[in-house]
Structure formats: C-alpha cells, structure tokens
Chain A
C-alpha cells in the first residue's frame, strides 16, 4: 500500500546522487528489498513508472534484488535462509533465530551519464 511513498523516497535519493555527480540522465536504479520489509517489488515497479515521468530518471530501468530472510541459530552456530518467513532452523528445528537479513529497503546504486 505504501510502495508509492517508498519509491518516491528512493527516486529522490537517486535524483540527489545524480545531481551531485552532474549527471544528465539516470539509466538504471538498483534496489535491494527484503522479503520481510513489507514492500512488494511489483508495486514498486508500478509506482516507479508513474513517478519517474518528467524526471531525469524517466525511462530508466529499475532493478530489484529480493533479499531472502536469513536467521542465525545460536545453538547450531549457523546461518540459514528461512522458508515461508519462518525462523525455523533446518538443523535443530528450533525457532529462536536472530534475524540477520530480510528487512532491507535499500538504494544500492544508480547508473548515470
């Protein structure tokens, strides 16, 4: 639901970076979005097209890397990727893992000229 404002925030940061570098156009925007971030990548794509029009990012490719949820199991001393959002360790089947990745909402890079 809030993807439009999240995308607006990412676009503002990208435009700022491009301006700082004296860029004329933004060709690519790369994001990392965690599965536990509460944000839907498809909705970001949709929002991007709507808000990039008329900016130096118009027509740019938006690439979204989905970051799976990763937990740390202290008992097994291992990190594991979670299936279905569950923090169940595949080794000991305990559910007390510490979340290490999966909440990302990050602007990773911008390709400009």
Chain B
C-alpha cells in the first residue's frame, strides 16, 4: 500500500530528482522514518501491566515539524540570496505549466528564473519549461501526492542558482495535500481555472485560504464554460480576502502584464528585505 495516501498502489517508487545535465537519475529514498519497533516475541503480563502507573507525556509538537524546520531553513537561504520563491498550486490541468512558461518568456530580460517542477511521473513539464531557456529540475514523486521540503532541498542541490532571481516551484497538481506543506516559499499562488468552476474555492477551502495570490486562468475559455466571474470573486474574497487576484489567459496574453508586474514588484520587495527579519 502507498505510504502516503493508502491508495492501494504499490508505494515503493522512490522519489527521483533530475536535471537535464544528468542522464542518470538520482534515486533519493524519501524521508519516511519508519518506526522500527517490532514486537519482541514475548507477551507482557497483562496483570503486571495493569499494575504499572500510566503517565501522560505532554509533547505539543507539530507533526510536520521536520518539514517546517527545513522549510524555514530554505526560506533563510532564499532570503540571503534575494531570491523570490513562488509555490504554484492547483488541481491537475489548471494551467500551471503554461502560466510558468509564459511568465518566464515575458520576464526573460528582467528576471533570471529557475523552476523546480513536481509530478508523479514523466519529465514532460521539465522539457516544456527548459524550452523557455530556464534551468529546470524535475522531481518525480512516485506515488507521493505533494512536494515537501526535503524533496525541494534535493532539487536545490541540482539547480544552478547562479544569478537566479526568481525560483518557481510547480507543485504536484492537487488541491488538497500540498496545502499542508510549507516549502519555504515567499508566496503561495493558487490557480483556479475557469474550467474548474467558480465554486472550487468553496470545495477546497484550506488551499485557497492559504493563498497569497490567486490566478484565475484560461480566461479565454470563460464564455464556453459559463464561468460565473462575480461568484468566483465573491468566493475568493470570503476565503482569502488578502490575496491578490489575477484574471488572465497565458494563451492569449490577456492579463499577463498585470501578473508579471506583480511578480516584478514582489521581487523588488524580496531583494530589499532584511534576511534576518522573520
């Protein structure tokens, strides 16, 4: 059974991280600390056990402490380099890769951009993004439904960070699990495509609630989908009132300028912030 979601798929697929300079792939064993607690082949005497005093240990620790600490470490590393880091999240097929491609192209002469892209399998997205001239590292998660800090750490070791100003992390297409994992990003950008429907934020509140910015994508298809724009905006206002909303079509270019201006502004802010200030 898959260790992550219990989906019944064989779960032994290792996480692999690769960039195009390496023909071989590094297989990293993913960090699940399996408890190696085995029964010792003897039965405890129940009556003796009953006589033992039960004690309560107060723990009060985040279950994802390891991920969170590593994410904070990465955040410090990014800040010291003046790097703006975006974590891009959406359901599969909402247009993450197309948005990133178009963002790289439009910012080509202004921001040197690198990408870490996560998918269960294939390097199709990495190949598309490399065609834009950006350094790209592909993470294949096997059966894992999200990226975590450890995978990002592995990918960072392979990414050429020289002169990089913007790092875009394209998460695994999934509106549930990636919400729980901090990757050390500056901004969480959640995509809502018009084909997803205007009520998607209501169906998946945690991820939209955690968004710093929301991109309404595939605007060129809005009419064909009977997309209710007012309803979508109202839903987003309720769930993520502080998030900036960008309505665009990466395909036609509509709305791309406002989005790119936002990224540039955020990069300017990232460059001038105090790396030691939390």
Cα-based distance from A37 to B179 in the complex (angstroms): 8
Cα-based distance from A51 to B224 in the complex (angstroms): 47
User: Does the CB pair A25–B49 fall under 8 Å?
Assistant: yes
The binding surface of chain B is classed by DSSP as loop
Cα-based distance from A106 to B4 in the complex (angstroms): 18
User: Does the CB pair B209–A107 fall under 8 Å?
Assistant: no
Minimal Cβ-Cβ distance residue in B for A19: B37
Q: In this complex, which of B65, B174, B241 has the most chain A Cβ atoms within 10 angstroms of its Cβ?
A: B241
Q: Could you say which residues of chain A place their CB within 8 Å of the CB of B64?
A: 6, 9, 105
Q: Could you say which residues of chain A place their CB within 8 Å of the CB of B206?
A: 36-38, 85
Give the number of residues in A that approach B within 8 Å (Cβ atoms).
Answer: 52
Q: Could you say which residues of chain B place their CB within 8 Å of the CB of A6?
A: 63-64, 180
Within 8 A of A (CB), among B188-212: 205-207, 209-210
B16: shortest Cβ distance to chain A, in Å? Answer: 18
User: Does the CB pair B6–A36 fall under 8 Å?
Assistant: no
Cα-based distance from A50 to B4 in the complex (angstroms): 12
Cα-based distance from A72 to B1 in the complex (angstroms): 42
Cα-based distance from A25 to B43 in the complex (angstroms): 12
User: Does the CB pair A2–B37 fall under 8 Å?
Assistant: no
A3 within 8 A of B: yes
29 A-B residue pairs with Cβ-Cβ distance under 8 Å, sorted by A, are A1-B7, A2-B5, A2-B146, A3-B6, A4-B1, A5-B32, A6-B64, A9-B66, A13-B61, A17-B59, A18-B57, A21-B55, A23-B55, A27-B54, A36-B205, A36-B206, A38-B207, A47-B6, A54-B38, A55-B37, A85-B205, A86-B238, A86-B239, A87-B209, A87-B241, A97-B241, A105-B180, A106-B62, A113-B54
> Chain A interface (Cβ within 8 Å of chain B)?
1-6, 8-15, 17-18, 21, 23-25, 27, 31, 36-39, 46-47, 50, 54-56, 84-88, 94-97, 99, 103, 105-113
